[in-house]
Amino acid sequence: MWAKLLVSSASLNQSVFYLLPDFKIIYISTLWFYSHRSGVERLFVYESVQSKFLSSVVPKVKAMRQGVPNAACGNDGNVDCGAMIMPAQLDIIEALVKDAVDKGAKLHCGGKKNSSLNGQFFEPTILSEITPDMRISKEEVFGPIMCIVTVPNDSDDECIRLVNNCDFGLGASVFSGSQKRAQKLGDAIRSGMVTINDFGVNYLIQSLPFGGVKESGFGRFAGPEGLRACCLERSVVIDRIPGVRTSIPPPINYPIEAKQGLNFGMSLMKLMYSESIFSKLAGIIGLIKNS
């Protein structure tokens, strides 16, 4: 029995935020806090606004409260960032951050396990000056790490090159004061979804297909495409004209006479696929002679 296979690595969300110089910084700086849990891995910040962006977002991340969100566990429940699910992930994240810092990334805050808490907590972290040779720019993090890639000279072309230089491509967002500019950038991004001047809403619109490209999965769920993914397509052919049936011409029916059958087949190919009218005529003559 055949079954359809849908692979959508929704947790491998390679969402990317592009911070263009003509968009309001204050709105952008709040996005990561609501989105890192769904896998926003990289932020591409244009060079002319990076300093302003960092001065806005670093204090917010430093002020994040980490702990157990459940008040029944002895906490007041006022928590911004929780713990990791898997213990091994702490070591993976720590190794990725160390590799980045060793290769020149700038650590603004966090970067280590939270030793003041009993549990699998990794401090909310901001890294800037991320470059393609760093593991963290190519591998999934699955943790509270903000990776900032500088787009030199505010170049749209360089931004697209940097963004697409990745094995993942689930979702992306482009932010700009110019919607036309943002849409042009979005059109060039290799991802399963793209949102212009917003984030995450594509998942809320159930009429849209959800899924990624490259190593972020294949197939879709939601939308008409998602419904079709749950179906088994089948081709059905019914003859419309009574008495008209497909038959095997004698020259290529068993037992086949080699020379006649070969000439008949070559003539049939000329008739069906040749672009020249003269070759098609030659094919018809060949069919007649070898019938």
Q: How many domains does the chain have?
A: 2
Residues 29 and 75 in one domain: yes
CB atoms within 10 A of CB 214: 16
Residues 267 and 222 in one domain: no
Q: Is 83 among the domain residues?
A: yes
pTM summary value: 0.71
Residues 258 and 207 in one domain: no
Q: Is 49 among the domain residues?
A: yes
Domain extent for 283: 250-289
For residues 192 and 211, is the Cβ–Cβ distance under 8 A?
yes
Distance (Å, rounded) from C-alpha 21 to C-alpha 164? 21
Record the tokens describing residue 186, joined without a space. 């979005």
Measured CA distances, 107 to 2, 6, 51, 117, 119 (Å): 51, 38, 14, 21, 23
Residues 258 and 176 in one domain: no
Q: Supply the CATH number for residue 63's domain.
A: 3.40.309.10
Reduced 3-state DSSP string for 232-274: CCCCCCCCCCCCCCCCCCHHHCCCCCHHHHHHHHHHHHHHHHC
Nearest CA among 105, 196, 102 for reference residue 146: 105
Residues 78 and 192 in one domain: yes
Tens digit of each residue's pLDDT, the chain (291 residues): 334 444 444 334 444 455 666 655 544 444 554 444 455 778 888 888 888 888 888 998 888 888 887 766 666 778 878 888 888 888 999 999 999 999 999 999 988 998 888 888 899 999 999 999 999 988 888 888 888 999 999 888 998 898 888 887 788 888 887 888 888 888 898 888 888 887 778 778 888 888 778 777 777 888 888 888 888 888 998 888 888 888 888 888 888 888 888 889 899 999 999 999 999 999 999 989 888
Nearest CA among 180, 140, 134 for reference residue 156: 180
Measured CA distances, 145 to 94, 109, 172, 219, 237 (Å): 10, 10, 17, 28, 55
Question: What H or E segment, with its residue span, contains residue 289?
Answer: helix 277-289
Record the tokens describing residue 60, joined without a space. 């917010």
Residues 162 and 273 in one domain: no
The Cβ-side half-sphere exposure at 153, using a 13 Å CA radius, reads 4
